Structure 1
Amino acid sequence: MIDPPSLHAIAAMVLTGAMFYAFAAGKLKVEIICLLMLSIIALGLYWFPLPGQAPSDGLKLAFEGFGHYALITICALMILGRGLVVTGALEPVVQQLTRVWRFNQRLGLLVTLMLAMLMSMFVNDTPVLVLLLPILVTLATRGGMPASRTLIPVNSAVLIGGMATTIGTSTNLLVVSLATDLGMPAMSVFYFTPLVVAAAAVALPFMWLVMPKLLPDNSPEAGHSPRHFRAMLRLGTTSPAIGKTLESALGASVEGIDIVSAPERPLQAFDRLVISASHEAIEDVMRLLGATTAPLVLLERLKARSSASEEDLAVVELSVARDSTLIGRWIASSGIALTHDVAVIAVHHARSDNTDISSSAVEPPLAVGDIILATGTLTDLSRLAREEGLLMLDGYKEVPRTAKAPLALAIMAGAVVSASLGLLPIAISALGGAILMFVTGCVRFNRVGRALSANVIVLVAASIAVGRVILESGAAAWLGQLMALGLIHLPAGAVLAAVMVFVTVLTNFASNTTAAAVGTPIAFSLAQALSVPVEPLVLAVLFGCNLCYATPVAYQTNMMIMSAGDYRFGDYTRTGLPLVLIMIVTLSGLLTLRYGLY
């Protein structure tokens, strides 16, 4: 029998539960939730301090995460990864990958999975997917394997690779840093890499051979309806539809058109219609109605710019990435046309809840995974993608290749090697590498905002504070004792698997960073209660935080591929749950063998 938790412990658990619920509900932005949590912790501990502490200690606990060395390391690694991307340092590898795909699709998928794992060991998961996503989508449109059958397996490989090193993800760094703060010896960069590589070898056949068969062929060639875009059509003074009803103007020559809003009277010059249809159908309607999807003045300006630059106008699909400046904004008020000399033709809004909102009467703001159909010169479209945080999915994507690419690679290698050999702490080597990226011009000072993610910064700081509160309030000790009651009669391997399952459930329905902050102190308390080494339990928490394959909301890269693959919630569950099971069984068994917990 265990004693009931203290009031502070109860409050800490309620606060953590509320944080998980807020993340899962998705009604507030992540940074808003985190700032609210920090404020509640600071004010709560000021008015009701922990036993033996002064009110000012609560303020320090709440906000010290912003100066924590784990957060500094994470920011430095983001800058290092940005340097590799903007200099085109990884472009030669990507070009070779494209050649393999064209030679043999099955071999191309295998090489892509292995390359994704390798790259994400050293570069954050999101930039790796940013590099691979346009290639896979483009190859699919040119007769390759459907994107819907490749993106989830490749995303899973990226997540597994990120699990393999302490610098692979911000979550890994957070778990290792929290464990070090609690007294566990520091882990080197490749400390647990052999375990993950062995588990990846077991999971690879499933991702390569089975996953694609479990996923639908969502390509139009397979009879799947093409992606629908929402477009506003403008009638000019010379439109052949003037004086006709919309039905008679369209006739029966265009199929698959959803009319969102249109005048019920005969059409007149300067009328505006909102429709939802495929890109091809939108073009057909434009021809029949003599309509445009952008102001005529803007289109004339684009034509003049094209003539002056001797560049042809192009139409491309641009996916809204996680760090895009357009998130939460409407196209009409975004200023894209004025700033970048491009015209937005239509927008496809991603399904986050299995509902197609392209035909909704009320246009929603842009969100992660939405796809913008835009026209302009390739130079202007590339600048739009680069400056607004968009991914070019269709058309020619020009990744800068500069003379600084070898230098960026050398800086990244120096930071990783010096940390892995124990010459420097990872915080120092990463910070030094980030400074070198600035000094050498690989990353410009005025572009540092593109490298850093405000969401990650605030989330990590809040997670550190939540972890400290869980620990110091006694909630971790109480939860550890409660879990020990149910696990005390289980073998060590089953205990490790149970801890991994517990954290995996949290990370698939909330934030993996917060799951790490909660799970790490619980692992310490559980180790003490069960009299087992703490290190395998901490690694079980770390691995569990990375097993985020089963839901689209579990990780940001899951959402990024949702529109490009036209996935539904069930596609993630059908492929992700078996992979989670494979990884939990394999990793818990490997931990048991490595630490002799028989």
Structure 2
Amino acid sequence: MTLEIAIALGIIALAVILFVSERLSIDTVAILTMVLFMVTGILTPAEGFAGFSNSATLTVAAMFAISSAIFKSGVLSSVGIALTRIGRKNYLLCLLSLMLISGGLSAFINDTAVVALLMPVVIQVSQDIKVSPSKLLIPLSFGALMGGICTLIGTSTNILVSGIAEAQGEESLEMFEFTPAGIWFLLTGILYMFFIGRHLLPNRGVSEDLSESFDMGDYITEIILLPDSPSVDVPLHKSGLVQNLDVEVMQVTRNNERIQVFPSLILHANDILKVRCSVDKLKLLKEEKGILLKSERKFRDRDYRMNDSKLYEAIVTPNSYLEGKSLKTLDFRSYNYGASVLAIRHRNEIIHEKLAHVKLSAGDVLLIAADKFQGEKLKQNDDILIISQTERSSYNYGKIIPVIIISVGVVMAAVLDLMPIVLSAMVGVVLLILFKCIRIAEVYKAIDWKVIFMLAGVLSMGAALEKTGAAKLLADYLIYGVGEYGPHALLSVFFFITFMSTNFMSNNATAALLAPIAIVTAKELGVSVKPFLMAVAYAASLSFMTPMGYQTNTMIYGPGNYRFSDYLKVGTPLNIIYWILASLILPLFFPF
């Protein structure tokens, strides 16, 4: 154990603690780790920043843009239509079709985009066939994860492992090298969900009335602001109604005309305000000076429909700008043209009070009140995903054909070894821009920069492990402990450690840590590195035991009204089955 190794392992241990604790965002931890390696002299600036120019990072960025172009063209709209038709016939057929469709799409398109496309459809289908969304959303996410491991571009983890191998002098992984074993994992997973997993899924019904779904036991009432009210001639967001009583102003009527509600609206005497509040706040409202109450009644979804407004259910997407920020910090109402948040479903808790101060997390579900104009703006907001509406994107025939040709060309160029995948993907993006299938501004917007910075950062961990000899040291420990049982046992250990780790920290960070150790272990044993690399790549993406194990698991957590235990109950047997399966088939597809 040298000083350099001790420093490198210390920095990585700190990174792992921060990854698991989630005190900082994943990309922040990755960049912090990269900087620490350079500051301590473990890596030179050139070595530290090399992750930004790594082929894996550039390929993932290009694939984000290509996936966005496919999504925007409307070519996938027919998938939603087909799934709706199947779902209305039979639940089991819907379950099977859902996993096959999500798995097939995720092999070539970003799995987060696939889940974002299909989630609103699945929720609508569940209502049509009278089945709880909790019976379909886990199969949707799991199917996307299973399909993503079937090709090189199916998940960023596969691309990352290939990039690490190439950086350490090994052959890069080919496009369909993942496919034979990947299909085994996909079919096994589907059979498990069909015969076993579906019986372990919870059955938590969700009311079609969103106000009931969010337990909105509130009252609505109309109040008249009398001339002596302290709220007269005061901006709405600074009035006592909002500041002291925390009531939600749904509508303002002045001189028999409705006025758009926004935070800086100046309230006038004799304004009629329709407000929503709890029973306790209603009592306080009756005692408020300068307020005359009219009739009060229970809040219902129809209260917004009658006022040319709707209730929208939306989730905070992974890596969203909203993560870690409060509605007050975001100035959510002004930012979204007057749309207001009525409730937040955070994990298993539904929050109604002091919403402005709640820090948002990925997977949180927001109940939003908005009129038609505000609703359209919400749908264009990439930081949230509207899941209560199933309006499909229209076909853009001018874009569909070139998008399909270019996307297929990107894959075939890599398969036929005409050019590396990083180059074919970049050429594809350029062609999509030239053929006006996607604008350059949309390319920048489509790229998830948090993922790009995270990839660049975690690549430095692998470089530090390899350069300092820490990877060799850890490999020696593994060989000393398990090596006497042969490479098959070590392969099984790598798969187990990887899928266990990725359930509690970033799958890409897990792959970046273990791939260099896997390479050194194989070399120390004098066997092929390929089976060990593939074990890390597959296991890092097959994460089913926790909602934070993978982005798509986080996305479905709130909409499915799941609990942490649901993932353990359904995902643990599947992960054990995959562990046994991988130990048996990986040496057959990738001989030592």
Instruction: Give the TM-score taking structure 1 as reference length.
Output: 0.83
Give the residue type in structure 2 aligned to 1:451.
A
Deviation at 1:258, TM superposition (A): 6.9
Structure 1 pair 265/173, CA: closer, same or farther in 2 (3 Å)?
Answer: closer
1:215-250 superposed Cα distances (whole Å, 9 cap, x missing partner)? 21111479xx833469897863179xx9xxx9xxxx
Which secondary structure state, in structure 2, belongs to the residue aligned with residue 442 of structure 1? Answer: coil
Match of 1:21 among 17, 24, 27: 17
- What's the counterpart of residue 251 of structure 1? none
User: Residue 147 in 1 paired to residue 133 in 2?
Assistant: yes
Give the residue type in structure 2 aligned to 1:318.
A
- What's the counterpart of residue 468 of structure 1? 463
Structure 1 distance, partners of 2:104, 2:471, is 35
Match of 2:323 among 307, 314, 327: 327
Match of 1:484 among 475, 479, 490: 479
Aligned ranges 1:160-559 → 2 under 5 Å? 160-220=146-206, 226-228=213-215, 236-237=223-224, 264=284, 266-268=286-288, 282-283=299-300, 313-332=309-328, 334-338=330-334, 340-351=336-347, 357-358=351-352, 363-378=357-372, 380-403=374-397, 404-559=399-554
What is the aligned-residue RMSD (CA, Å)?
Answer: 3.1
Which secondary structure state, in structure 2, belongs to the residue aligned with residue 283 of structure 1? Answer: coil
Deviation at 1:80, TM superposition (A): 0.3
Structure 1 pair 230/450, CA: closer, same or farther in 2 (3 Å)?
Answer: farther
Give the residue type in structure 2 aligned to 1:479.
L
- What's the counterpart of residue 132 of structure 1? 118
1:24-71 superposed Cα distances (whole Å, 9 cap, x missing partner)? 1111122222222122111111xxx5xxxxxxx611111111121211
Deviation at 1:337, TM superposition (A): 4.4
Structure 1 distance, partners of 2:575, 2:278, is 39
- Which segment drifts farther, 415-424 or 28-37? 28-37
Deviation at 1:447, TM superposition (A): 2.4
Deviation at 1:213, TM superposition (A): 1.4
1:444-481 superposed Cα distances (whole Å, 9 cap, x missing partner)? 22223431112101110011111100111111000000
Structure 2 distance, partners of 1:204, 1:110, is 7
Structure 2 distance, partners of 1:553, 1:453, is 18
Structure 1 pair 230/346, CA: closer, same or farther in 2 (3 Å)?
Answer: farther
1:516-542 superposed Cα distances (whole Å, 9 cap, x missing partner)? 111111011211222222110111111
Deviation at 1:581, TM superposition (A): 1.1
Deviation at 1:315, TM superposition (A): 2.5
1:121-173 superposed Cα distances (whole Å, 9 cap, x missing partner)? 00111001001111111122233431111111221110111111111111110
Give the residue type in structure 2 aligned to 1:539.
M
Which secondary structure state, in structure 2, belongs to the residue aligned with residue 391 of structure 1? Answer: strand
Structure 2 unmatched runs, 5+: 230-244, 246-276, 292-296
Structure 2 distance, partners of 1:93, 1:345, is 31
1:352-385 superposed Cα distances (whole Å, 9 cap, x missing partner)? xx55555578831332222222344445413322
Q: Is the 8 A contact 2:219 2:299 kept in 1?
A: no
Structure 2 distance, partners of 1:533, 1:439, is 43
Q: Is the 8 A contact 1:341 1:380 kept in 2?
A: yes
Structure 1 pair 182/331, CA: closer, same or farther in 2 (3 Å)?
Answer: same
Structure 2 distance, partners of 1:367, 1:104, is 35
Structure 1 pair 574/435, CA: closer, same or farther in 2 (3 Å)?
Answer: same
Structure 1 pair 259/188, CA: closer, same or farther in 2 (3 Å)?
Answer: farther
Q: Is the 8 A contact 1:229 1:348 kept in 2?
A: no
Structure 1 distance, partners of 2:219, 2:63, is 42
Give the residue type in structure 1 aligned to 2:6.
I
Q: Is the 8 A contact 2:38 2:45 kept in 1?
A: yes
Deviation at 1:199, TM superposition (A): 2.3
Aligned ranges 1:45-64 → 2 under 5 Å? 45=41, 58-64=44-50
Structure 2 distance, partners of 1:469, 1:159, is 29
Q: Is the 8 A contact 1:328 1:365 kept in 2?
A: yes
Deviation at 1:555, TM superposition (A): 1.3
Match of 1:41 among 37, 48, 51: 37
Give the residue type in structure 2 aligned to 1:516.
A
Instruction: Give the TM-score taking structure 2 as reference length.
Output: 0.84
Deviation at 1:335, TM superposition (A): 4.8
Match of 1:567 among 554, 559, 562: 562
Residue correspondences, number:
538
1:553-597 superposed Cα distances (whole Å, 9 cap, x missing partner)? 111111111100111111111111111111121122111223445
Structure 1 pair 75/231, CA: closer, same or farther in 2 (3 Å)?
Answer: farther
Give the residue type in structure 1 aligned to 2:300.
E
Structure 2 distance, partners of 1:125, 1:425, is 22
Deviation at 1:439, TM superposition (A): 1.9
Q: Is the 8 A contact 1:121 1:161 kept in 2?
A: yes
Structure 2 distance, partners of 1:436, 1:269, is 65
1:395-430 superposed Cα distances (whole Å, 9 cap, x missing partner)? 342424212122212211110111112111100110
Structure 1 distance, partners of 2:361, 2:279, is 23
Which secondary structure state, in structure 1, belongs to the residue aligned with residue 315 of structure 2? Answer: strand
Structure 1 pair 382/221, CA: closer, same or farther in 2 (3 Å)?
Answer: closer
- What's the counterpart of residue 306 of structure 1? none
Give the residue type in structure 1 aligned to 2:582.
L
Structure 2 distance, partners of 1:400, 1:569, is 37
